[in-house]
Structure 1
Amino acid sequence: MGILGGNPKNEPLHYGEVYDLWQFSAMAKGCISNYRALQYHAGDKELKSVLHDLINQAELEVSECDTILTHNGIAPAPALPERPEAKLEDIPVGARFSDQEIAMKTAADSSMGMVACSSMMGKSIREDIGALFAKYHATKTAMGLRILRMNKEKGWLIPPPLQIKRPDLVQA
């Protein structure tokens, strides 16, 4: 059996895996705090449901990443303090995020999360770490599709410039 050929959970993490797990957990903790605040701003029921599911997913990611870090003797990033609850009507109009703004942010977060997961999968040499981020990637892909469809249905999607007229190809 070659080097690092046993049970992946008994293999050491390399520094890139340690940093990625730590950073991913820290970012997920930030998302939990951010999405909880945005839930107070959201008025649309479907958008609130998406935010709820994003929070649940981020909490799972924090739990799994922090467990691996702790098991390997690495202190995880500290959790952020809980936010006090707020009611939508108590948030001043000029300080309130619109549903469209919230939907755009969640779409961007989903996209960046998939890129981060792909990077982590590519650099992992421990199979369990690569598989963990493949699982997160699949979940973020499904959530991204859900957000995209919601944005299209509600008229919130702001597409980049569209190529309406295609240039004629010259046949040789």
Structure 2
Amino acid sequence: MTNLLEAIKDYLAPLVDGEPKKPLHVGEVNNLWLLLTLLEEGLAVYQLGLNTTTDKQLIHALTNGQEESIKTIEQIRNFFIKEGVSMPPISEPKPKSNPNSVPLGVKYTDSELANLISAKLAAEITLLGQALAMSIRTDVGQTFFQIQFEMIKYGTSLKKMMQDRGWLKTPPYYYPPGGPE
């Protein structure tokens, strides 16, 4: 098994050896393109939440998620421009509205909003894990890893808030037959 120092050396070598970068492969482009689409369309979810909730903790979580998404979107868009990759079409931003003016039957509850954001985040983190495993270029893998790390940090604080509020949806517990009591 490779030791830690060898792994670090092998990881850093392509970043510092001055060798020209190979072109992106189809999987790297596809995963980046899909992630960018998920993030850009996800902005509408954050905007919808900010337009419909009055819960201060949830507003804070939604604002943080929106800000992190915008940073990541910029990072990927700049990378695409540098690499010559076309951008996916995006939806128009939602206008601001007064949460108290939205009828109850139309807007999500705070619990529904938090779970929607949580599910969106889980899909993005899963995509990033697969993308990281497929990436060949070190800079692309590093980008996927860094984005995934930021999403996991955000998801951890979101999960804590959801647990504290009783909003986290937990599947039924599994007790295997013949297992210890």
TM category (shorter chain) comes to: 0.7 to 0.9
> Secondary structure of 1:92's match?
coil
Q: What is the aligned counterpart of 1:72 among 83, 92, 100?
A: 83
Higher mean C-alpha deviation, range 106-115 or range 8-17: 8-17
Alpha-carbon separation, structure 2, partners of 1:149 and 1:112: 19
- Corresponding residue number in structure 1 for 2:4: none
Quote how far apart the aligned CAs of 1:105 are: 0.8
> How much identity, in percent, do the aligned residues show?
21
CA distance 1:26–1:7, change in 2 (3 Å) = farther
TM-score (norm 1): 0.87
How big is each residue's C-alpha offset from its partner over 1:52-105, in whole Å with a ceiling of 9 and x where there is no partner? 111111111111111111111111113321211111111011101100000111
1:23 corresponds, among 34, 41, 53, to: 34
| Correspondence 1:12-91 to 2 at 5 A | 12-91=23-102
Q: Which amino acid aligns with 1:41?
A: T
- Give the distance between the partners of 1:122 and 1:145, measured in 2 at CA: 22
Return closer, same or farther for 1:40/1:70 CA change in 2, 3 Å cut-off.
same
2:116 maps to: 105
Alpha carbons 1:9, 1:128 under 8 Å: kept:
no
Give the Cα separation in 2 of the matches to 1:9 and 1:150. 46
Residues 36 and 83, structure 1, Cα contact 8 Å, conserved in 2: yes
Q: Which residue of 1 aligns with 2:3?
A: none
Runs of at least 5 residues in structure 1 that lack an aligned partner in the other structure = none
Over 3 Å counting, the alpha-carbon distance change for 1:164 and 1:154 in structure 2 is farther
Cα distance change on mapping 1:47 and 1:13 into 2, 3 Å:
same
Shift of 1:158: 2.3
Tell me the secondary structure at the aligned position of residue 146 of structure 1.
helix
Contact conserved, 1:124 with 1:130, CA < 8 A, in 2? yes
Which TM-score applies when normalising by structure 2? Answer: 0.83
- Structure 1 stretches of at least 4 aligned residues deviating more than 3 Å after TM superposition: 5-10, 163-169
For residue 148 of structure 2, give the secondary structure of its aligned residue in structure 1: helix
Q: C-alpha root-mean-square deviation of aligned residues, in Å? A: 2.0
